[in-house]
Amino acid sequence: MTATSTTINATDISVQIDPSTSSSLTSSYLLLGTVSAVGTLVTDLAPADRIVIHVPTATGRTCGNCRWCLKGSDDLCSTRANANAPDLIPGQAAVVPAKSAFKVSGYNNMLAASTVEAAASVYAPLRKHMALGVRVGIATVVDSDTVGAQRQLASSFAQVLGAGEVATDSIQAGSVDLLLVLLGEASVPANVVWEELIGKVSVGGKVVIVGAQGTDGQGQGLGIKLNLGAVISGQREVVGSTWEVARGLVEEMVRFADKMSVELAL
């Protein structure tokens, strides 16, 4: 993606990027903005549309040896991620390929950002691991307005997805089949006892560390030691490592939320 030209090619769009910072989703950055003009071949976007813009972290070469390259997720390779920096700047105008944008018209600025974040954080693991009657626990390890709102959103999604029970407070040991641990954007407190959290899950249950961008799917990077038979999934493993997968998930979540009357504002 290049944002250095002010000329709109047939397949490009001109966009005013929101002044807010980007929202991280898998290996890429997402920015929000408003379309100001479209190229002659662009049919699915129009001026004034609210959009999410995908900004690749890099287009450089990968190392071929790290855990991401070895498992086929080479777009997460740190060598590649450091090769280039995104050239889209919050608060400025840019010209980008139309295919890099996803329309979220109808949502205001704050709600559009929440839509993207919700898909990455709470809808994705619930959709992947939920089944009718599953007992869901939602735990927080940091105290913030964002995490509190995500907890409410996760609870709403779990209920409409058919959870047998949704617990958000005083979750007893071994009492849930699926546990979402919400980290938020803050640093994880050093006094978090991961064994105690994981112990809330029944034998063979699953744990998703929501927001664990630095984990490898087994809790590495968070100091988690598996000894209770739980499955630990980092956010990347749940959402997917490509924009196409992430974009499809966002679109699916928006349709599902509209259908089930789930309020997405965080």
Q: Do the bridges between strand 12-17 and strand 93-97 make them parallel or antiparallel, or are there none, so unpaired?
A: antiparallel
Instruction: Decide if 7 is inside a domain.
Output: no
Give the domain-ending residue among 103, 135, 157.
Answer: 103
Give the domain-ending residue among 103, 126, 147.
Answer: 103
- Centre a 10 Å sphere on the Cβ of residue 238 and count the other Cβ atoms it contains: 23
The C-alpha torsion from 56 through 113 and 50 to 248, rounded to 10°, is 60
* The predicted structure's pLDDT at residue 77: 58
- 116-130 pLDDT, tens digit per residue, is 767 777 888 898 888
* The predicted structure's pLDDT at residue 32: 81
Task: With a cut of 50, list the residues of the chain below it in pLDDT.
Answer: 1-5, 22, 24-27, 57-60, 81-86, 213-221, 226-228
Domain that holds residue 130: 117-241
- The CATH number assigned to the domain holding 161 equals 3.40.50.720
Instruction: Decide if 254 is inside a domain.
Output: no
Answer whether 0.85 is exceeded by the pTM: no
- 148-168 pLDDT, tens digit per residue, is 888 988 999 999 999 999 999
Geometric angle at alpha carbon 80, from 63 and 1, rounded to 5°: 150
* The predicted structure's pLDDT at residue 244: 65
Instruction: Decide if 95 is inside a domain.
Output: yes
Kind and range of the H or E run holding 69: helix 67-70
